[in-house]
Amino acid sequence: ELASQSLPNYRHTPNCSNMPRASCLALALTAASTPASAYALIAGQPRGERSRRGSAAMNLAIMMNGLPGAMGREIASAAIRREGVTLAPFALTGAGMGGEVEVDGVTVRLYEPSEKEECARLAKEAYPEAGSLVCIDFTHPTAVNGNAEWYGANRLPFVMGTTGGDRDALFGVTRESGTYAVIAPNMAKQIVALQAALEQMASDFGGSFEGYALSVVESHQSTKADTSGTAKAVSTSLAKLTNEPDFTADDYAQIQRVRDTDEQLAGGGSSHRGCSPVPEAFLGGHAFHTYALTSADGNVEFQFRHNVCGRSTYAEGSVDAAVFLAKRVGAAAEQRVYDMVDVLKMGGI
C-alpha cells in the first residue's frame, strides 16, 4: 500500500526549494492438539471473497508463523482473500503466546517453541502433498535461525520475511537441508524492483559516485527490534557506487535508526536528509527510508526514498512469494533457495 496521505513539506517529485546549494534527484515510493484430520477439514475455503492473482487450480495452505502479531495478521488476511489459497489452522508463535487466534473467521491454534514438534507432525499429516503447504515467517530476529533449522529438519518450504539473526547461518542451513525457501528482507515488489536496479547499477558503474558521502536514515514502528534489512541491502549497493566499503562495517552501524515517535512525526526537517514525516495514524506500522549521496562540496545531492504506510504491500508480496514457492516445489525445481528478485524476475509477482 503506497502512502496515500500527503506528507508535509515533501512532494512526490523532486523538491529542492529548501536546498539552495544543492541540486537533487529524489525518487519516492510513497508507496492443545486437535487431530490432524480435523485440521484438514477446516482448512478449506474460509468465508470472504477471494481475490488477486491466485489460481483456481491451486490448493495451497499457508502456515502463518508470527501470529498474533500485526504483520502476521495482515498476511493471514491476505492469504484468506487470495484465490486458491487458505490459511492453515495451526502455526508457530513465541513463548507465552500460545492459544488460539481468529483471523477473518478462521481459527488458528498457536504452538509455542516447546510445542514445535507437535506442530510439525500436524503439518505433515494434514498437508502431505509437495507444495500444498508453505510457511511464512514474520516472527522475531532471535527466532530466525532456530526456525530455519526447524523448517529444514521437517522439510517445510518457507518464506522468511523476518530480518536479523545470523544470515550466513540461515542460508547455510537452508541450502544444506535442501529445503525450498524464499529469503528476503523486503516483500514489496516495487521496492524489490528498486533494489534490483540499484544492484545492477552498482555492478555496472561501481565507483561512479566516488567522492560522494552516503547517509541512510530508516524509520519504523517502535516495536521493530533491528535495523531494516532493506536499508542494509540497498546501502550495500549504494556504498559500491560511492566506494565506501566501510559503510557496511559493524553490522551497518552508520545507518540511523529512528524509533522515537516525536522524531518520526517531525521528520528530517528542511534539509530533507532525514526521513519524511510519518502520519500519526501510521506510527504503529510504517517503513520510511531515505538514502542520500552528497558531493564533497555539498553542491550536488542525490536522494532515494521509499515510504510505506501500513503493511498491506508486504502482506500481498509475502503471499505472492508463497504461491511462487509452492509452484517451484510442485515442479521439483532444481533451484531451492530464492530471493524476492528471483520471484520478480520469474514472474511470481
* Helix, coil or strand: residue 117: helix
pLDDT tens, 176-208?
999 999 999 899 989 999 999 999 999 999 999
- Band (pLDDT 50/70/90 cuts) for residue 269 is low
Q: What integer pLDDT is reported at residue 5 of this predicted model?
A: 31
| Those residues with Cβ within 8 angstroms of residue 38's Cβ, 6 or more apart along the chain or in another chain | none
Q: What is the rounded average pLDDT of the residues 238-252?
A: 96
Alpha-carbon distances of 133 from 26, 34, 80, 122, 330, rounded to whole Å: 41, 18, 14, 11, 11
Q: What is the rounded average pLDDT of the residues 122-133?
A: 97
Contact by Cβ (8 Å): 173, 195 = no
Please identify which residue in the block is written with the cell numbers 506528507: 7
Question: What's the Rg (C-alpha) of the chain?
Answer: 21
3-state helix, strand, coil in the chain (%, to 5): 35, 20, 40
Q: What is the rounded average pLDDT of the residues 163-172?
A: 95
Please identify which residue in the block is written with the cell numbers 521509499: 306
Average pLDDT, whole number, for the chain? 86
The Cα–Cα gap between 85 and 81 comes to: 8
Nearest CA among 156, 149, 147, 164 for reference residue 180 = 156
pLDDT tens, 94-103?
999 999 999 9
Which is more confident, 114 or 43?
114
Q: What integer pLDDT is reported at residue 60 of this predicted model?
A: 98
- Band (pLDDT 50/70/90 cuts) for residue 242 is very high
How many helices (H) and strands (E) are present in the chain, helices listed first?
11, 14
Q: Is the peptide bond before 68 cis (omega within 30 degrees of 0)?
A: yes
- Band (pLDDT 50/70/90 cuts) for residue 39 is very low
Strand partners, 65: 137
Q: What integer pLDDT is reported at residue 268 of this predicted model?
A: 77
Grid cell in block for residue 87: 490459511
Nearest CA among 242, 237, 235 for reference residue 211 = 242
Dihedral angle sign, alpha carbons of residues 200, 325, 220, 7: positive
Q: What is the rounded average pLDDT of the residues 82-92?
A: 98
* Helix, coil or strand: residue 341: helix
Catalytic residue among 189, 220, 240, 272: 220
The Cα–Cα gap between 247 and 228 comes to: 15
The Cα–Cα gap between 161 and 139 comes to: 8
Query: 164-173, 175-184, 262-271, 292-301: lowest mean pLDDT where?
Result: 262-271
* Helix, coil or strand: residue 288: strand
Catalytic residue among 124, 189, 224, 232: 224
Q: What integer pLDDT is reported at residue 272 of this predicted model?
A: 66
- DSSP string covering 146-196: HHHHHHHHTT--EEE----S-HHHHHHHHHHHT--EEE-S---HHHHHHHH
pLDDT tens, 215-237?
999 999 999 989 999 999 999 99
Q: What integer pLDDT is reported at residue 274 of this predicted model?
A: 84
Asked if 224 is an active-site residue, the reply is yes
